[in-house]
Chain A
Amino acid sequence: MTPSQDMQGSEPLLSVRGVCVTFGGIVALNGVSFDLRRGHILGLIGPNGAGKTTLFNCLSRLYQPSQGDILLEGKSILKQPPHRIPDIGIGRTFQNVALFHNLSVLDNIRVGAHSRTTSDAMSDMLKLPWARREERALDKRARDIADYLDLLEVAERPVAGLPFGTQKRVELGRALAAEPKILLLDEPAGGLNHEEVHALGDLIRKIRDQRGITVLLVEHHMGLVMSIADHVVALNFGKKLAEGPPAAVQSDPDVIKAYLGSKDA
């Protein structure tokens, strides 16, 4: 039994309600609503410019919706300052990999745990006992995550020189270090080859199953979405086109039209 099955019927973990975002004249999101169930992998699809990244940026409080609300476990996140978002359990990766390039793989993962640690500047400078203790525990946790994602060999290397696929795993590890309830993945398959995409699908499923993390997956790669998503939401021009099980959305005439009309590069 997957976690998704025994959670049926409970309130959604995340609820997006009528969210609108405009940039000058451009309406990037126009009243988008959907629910994300605990333990699900939700695939968010749509052609370029549909508003997927904009929605992610609302969820991580980088953009402020002009209308609508976003509820996590029933509570609005729009009153939280951006730096509190990981505390309440939302973690993310970025479409074009946003790592700390001069820091090592382990340090990137350690920064990921920033919201789960408490040491202050004074204790850090004086290396007081509790700061030391926290640092030791953090070191172990970062190494465990590096091990989980097969990054131990490059653990001490600065991320700048690593291959793109490896950098994507580092970013994933950094997000995992914050122990999120929801993981937002923005086009994780972008720039990966066929085998890597396959491994990524397994990894995302493994993260959901083993760590109980709910996933919101933005992806262009239809094969990946269709093989791992429990539920799919399709966007176009900032509006929801369709929603439902993967197969149903894939065969929806509006979705097919949107994809034929704009994409396929």
Chain B
Amino acid sequence: MSTIQETVAPAAAARVTIRRSVSTIAQIVVLLLLLATPLFVKNFVIFQLTMWLVYAIAIMALNLLTGGSGQFSLGQSAFYALGAYTSAILMEHADVNYVLTLPASALVCFVAGVLFGLPALRLSGVYLALATFALATAMPQLLKLGVFESWTGGVQGLVVTKPDAPFHLPISQDMWLYYFTLLVTLLIYAASVNLLNSRTGRAMMAIRDNEIAASALGVNLPLYKTLAFGISAAFTGIAGALGAIVVQFVAPDGYTIQLAIAIFLGMVVGGVGWLPGSLAGSAFIVFVPNVAENISKGLSGAVFGALLIVVIFVVPHGARQVALYGEALAKKFLKNN
């Protein structure tokens, strides 16, 4: 490619092309890594990678809510639990195929999200965060209630049967679940990207940036705010359902406020409002605790906290900042060659 006779306009066009190509190359590399990695690692690692994708979905869902519509939630664990239980109950009590439990969980959680989003309309900022926090604390107790016990298994929870690979594919159950989860993750990612680049997504972001102006332009605030809650809850529910299938077990204490905080942390570390960052954020909450454990068994919590503070300090905008830096480097490299 000759760059000698470029005038200003083609230079701008070239910059856009370079920017596009850098991000396209990055996407292809990530996709290839996601496809190939399980072929070279042990089953337990595959299991961990699958959970990494599951949490990435949950973080993406929160990102749509917070990054997209500007509403906070410390209650995502409640929707995650609801999705997990919906899937587990359908599989174990009604013998529904695990694939079909995903849309069912999404639907149940969408309704729950909208119902919760309605009273939340009156709240914003920290108050909304507190209300969602209450939801997260209440959920494990609700799941233990005696009235539901015949369905939920009470404190004991439910054991879920692990599905085999379909069509007699010669791969392990773990590997099959990984690829299945990867497919769902990619679909949800695509749907989220579409959403943010559409009328609906722009309406949500308009609310995030300026409620009064959005309203004056005809954006129905209650509708889009509750819709954001509903969609976020639905995606979180799918993550919960996948999590239940992968872990083969649901129990109330698996879905405490700690999970909600982990999802929130993952969003911040990945970069609020940047969907690909969800993968980085999820890696942080899944793998860094192991790292911390290796550094010091007794003080793993403190080590995790210290690592978190370092990350927030060095890159306050999360993985997005790292990506932008990488892009700038790549552009410099491409220009000099």
Please give the residue numbers on chain A whose beta carbons come within 8 Å of chain B beta carbons, in ascending order. Answer: 60, 62, 81-87, 92, 94, 98-103, 107, 110-112, 114-115, 117, 119-121, 124-127, 131, 134-135, 138, 174, 178
Contacts and interface: CB of A to CB of B under 8 A. Distances in A.
B210 interface: yes
Interface in B212-258: 212-221, 227, 231
A83 B220 contact: yes
Given A86-B216, A111-B203, A125 B191 contact: yes
Given A100-B210, A131-B198, A121 B231 contact: yes
Contact of B219 (A111, A135, A138): A111
B161 interface: no
Given A111-B217, A115-B217, A98 B210 contact: yes
Given A82-B216, A98-B210, A111-B214, A126 B194 contact: yes
A99 B217 CA distance: 11
Contacts of A110: 199, 202
B205 A103 contact: yes
Q: Identify which of A84, A92, A111, A178 gathers the most chain B CB atoms within 10 Å of its CB.
A: A111
B160 interface: no
B206 A119 contact: no
Candidate in A120, A127, A134 with the most chain B CB atoms within 10 angstroms: A127
B200 A62 contact: no
B213 A114 contact: no
B219 A119 contact: no
A15 to B, nearest CB: 21
A34 B213 CA distance: 26
Contact of A178 (B195, B203, B217): B217
A150 to B, nearest CB: 17
B195 A121 contact: yes
A141 B216 CA distance: 20
A119 B200 contact: yes
A127 B194 contact: yes
Given A102-B209, A107-B205, 11 more contacts: A60-B216, A83-B221, A85-B216, A99-B213, A100-B210, A100-B214, A110-B199, A114-B203, A114-B217, A120-B200, A131-B199
B83 interface: no
Contacts of A84: 218
Nearest to B199: A119
B201 interface: yes
Size band of the interface chain B makes with A: 20 to 34
Given A124-B199, A125-B195, A135-B198, A103 B215 contact: no
16 contacts: A62-B215, A83-B221, A85-B218, A86-B216, A94-B216, A98-B213, A100-B209, A111-B214, A111-B219, A114-B206, A114-B218, A119-B198, A124-B198, A124-B199, A125-B192, A125-B195
Nearest to A86: B218
B207 to A, nearest CB: 9
Nearest to A116: B218
Interface in B260-305: 273
Interface string B28-52: 0000000000000000000000000
A115 to B, nearest CB: 3
A101 B198 contact: no
B57 to A, nearest CB: 14
Contacts of A85: 216, 218
A188 to B, nearest CB: 15
A87 B213 contact: no
Contacts of B227: 121
A82 B215 CA distance: 7
Give the one of B199, B214, B221 with max A CB within 10 A. B199
Given A103-B205, A114-B218, A124 B210 contact: no
A99 B212 CA distance: 10
A88 to B, nearest CB: 10
Interface string B155-171: 00000000000000000
Nearest to B216: A60
B60 to A, nearest CB: 13
Nearest to B201: A124
A180 to B, nearest CB: 10
B213 A178 contact: no
- Max count, chain B CB within 10 A of own CB: residue among A94, A107, A115, A125: A125
A124 B209 CA distance: 21
Contacts of B213: 94, 98-100
A100 B214 CA distance: 8
Given A117-B199, A119-B200, A111 B194 contact: no
Contact of B216 (A62, A103, A124): A62
Nearest to B219: A114
B186 to A, nearest CB: 14
Nearest to A175: B217
A48 B298 CA distance: 66
> Which 4 residue pairs across A and B have the least CB separation, nearest first?
A115-B218, A124-B198, A86-B218, A100-B209
Contacts of B208: 102
A20 B284 CA distance: 57
A92 B299 CA distance: 58
A125 B205 CA distance: 15
Contacts of B206: 100, 103, 111, 114
